[in-house]
With several copies, the nearest count.
Chain A
């Protein structure tokens, strides 16, 4: 048993770290650190660096232009990106559609789309959830009816992250309405966002932000060539993606970032004339979080290491997802607590790059309440923690 990285892994980490230090612009890091709104151009700037370095498809096998990294390397890469303050890599094309096309796509689809993903020429959106079919994908209603060389798509998708930036979308649609089981009649379809009949409407989150959307489809004609895999094979594809190796699911890197920020804030904030970090109650809250994170980091590495030995993490991913979101949410809870009354002021304009106003309280206080509320989503999306517990109960506990 050896809990530290090998020499090779350390060398890899240093390489990633050095590259990030050199190439990632201070402007972007600054925006990420201040929780400012990232524009499409910001993401494109970041993606371009990855393309240039050959790390855009960091999840893919070498033969398709990917890195061929081990799970441990992928883990290191994720940690370093977060630690450096990089924006996230928009996953829909490179981490979701890419693996699907590699596994299920036609040669023509691979030849056309994979290079475009590798070079960040497309912005893909994901069309899975529907109103009334969030965790329960099998009940989705958006229909695709064959008409000549096209499918005609009607229906509605929701929670479509950054669809207003996307030029393409992949969707699960119902092609077999009479299939004996609801999950048997689903297909996986690629579309262009500017196809007539597609309309994107913003959903405003509880903080008043626009990050997700509803996408409406009315008589949208999609060429049959845009079907991935067989007709009615969509469920198999969706499940393949769900089980696809997810090293970052625990969000350890994010939580470490938060914890570091929290400790600094607690050193700065005063309580009765002393640093808040010295208050026994607050110190205990931080320490409990820190211990949970310490344990989770090892837990996460155990699953990553097992994946490196070819053991696909199944329900362990669910355990990590649950604990990971608890830790991330707790970190944001402590941050909002830390700043006391200054958690309350809300200046939406302060999250635009141009803003150079003065915060009412300390600068770091402004995004904290927003961060706390925003982070509630992590235990809901990607299969709520309740769904994750159901999965574990079934697959690990045998209920």
Chain B
């Protein structure tokens, strides 16, 4: 049993933390987050050069990491820094289907190399209006004719969908609207005339897009009809990343709040002299440590069998949502009036923490999923 990071990982952690701390003050972050792209292309290339994208991908894809531990580690720092660059969209959601299904092909290897170098952006267009958090509910249709696949449907809230150089699109080639069988993934050129993108900002910073596909041409990734396991594993990675990101954001928000409680005075003493606030901080601390433990567990079993992987990822994501609400609300409440303002960093952390619950399944969704994958363990 060993809870310590290896030397390589410790270095990766320190690199990421330092770079984010030094180059990413909150004002610049807001500028990036509110820009048209929703992030900074320059900073993204800097992150890539430091190896933070490659750390999220396995060797066979040209990366140098990609384990659960790597993902948790990088995304904890992403969360701590309130980073809006497209780590999730490009390095997890976009790249992993390529790694898994087509990593060996020359074409994809070139793409992944460009991804790792920060030159190529991806997005996963999977969710649809009404699909909520269901992974299998796909109504977008793909049909083949003369060796050409054409895709039609609507994809919603595609993270960084507007700026992606390639879209990874899920579509149904057979089966009922909620069947796991019959799904396929395609690479779609966003400049295809059958692709219409509509971009918008997200409330916690960054951008997403709704994408309408009308007979858009797609290149299959992996065997059409058998994409569900790839989607499930990709979303498991993304959910772990989101939980780790929430953890990092909570740590930072907790530290800011602690600092505020110690320095801001009211009725002639620091606010933190109030025992109730101290005890509530302790309760936050406990739950953050619980979340950290659960993220570690999910990270360490990300490459395990399906039941274990899904169960532990759902435990972590459930807890991220449950603890997240508590922490976000306490952070605002303990800051008082200034906790409601744009000016401070703390409320932006609160927004990010809460909105992570809307990514890849909320706390209720993952509790149900945990129950489902626990049946065997009873």
Contact = CB atoms under 8 A, between A and B. Distances in A.
B204 interface: yes
Interface of B: 1-6, 9, 69, 127, 129-130, 132-134, 137, 156-157, 177-178, 198, 200-204, 208, 210, 258, 261-262, 264-268, 272-279, 281-283, 285-286, 289-294, 296-297, 299-300, 312, 315, 318-319, 322, 325, 329, 332-333, 336-337, 339-343, 347-348, 350-351, 354-355, 357-359, 362, 364, 367-368, 370-371, 374, 378
Given A129-B337, A296-B293, A299-B289, A282 B1 contact: no
A89 B122 CA distance: 50
A112 interface: no
Given A159-B337, A380-B333, A204 B343 contact: yes
A340 B294 contact: no
A205 interface: yes
B378 A267 contact: yes
B323 to A, nearest CB: 10
Given A283-B371, A345-B200, 17 more contacts: A3-B300, A72-B1, A132-B266, A204-B341, A206-B347, A270-B130, A288-B322, A292-B290, A336-B354, A340-B133, A376-B329, A376-B332, A380-B332, A392-B282, A396-B282, A399-B272, A399-B278
Nearest to B325: A333
Nearest to A337: B362
B319 A372 contact: no
Contact of B278 (A6, A269, A389): A389
A145 to B, nearest CB: 24
A91 interface: no
Contacts, number: 251
Interface stretch (A77-85, A134-142, A235-243): A134-142
B277 A386 contact: yes
Interface in A190-234: 203-208
A139 B271 CA distance: 14
27 contacts: A1-B6, A129-B337, A134-B336, A134-B337, A263-B378, A269-B132, A279-B364, A284-B368, A291-B294, A291-B318, A292-B290, A294-B294, A301-B3, A306-B3, A340-B132, A343-B203, A344-B358, A346-B203, A360-B210, A369-B354, A369-B355, A373-B350, A377-B340, A384-B336, A386-B276, A390-B275, A399-B272
B175 to A, nearest CB: 14
Contacts of A136: 266-267
A298 B294 contact: yes
A389 B267 CA distance: 16
B333 A346 contact: no
B203 A369 contact: yes
A305 B322 CA distance: 27
A252 B2 CA distance: 19
Nearest to A358: B198
Contacts of A135: 266, 336
Interface string A317-357: 00100110000010001001100111111111000000000
Nearest to A326: B286
B208 A345 contact: yes
Contacts of A288: 318, 322, 367
B354 A372 contact: yes
Contacts of B297: 3, 294-295, 298
Contacts of B202: 344-346
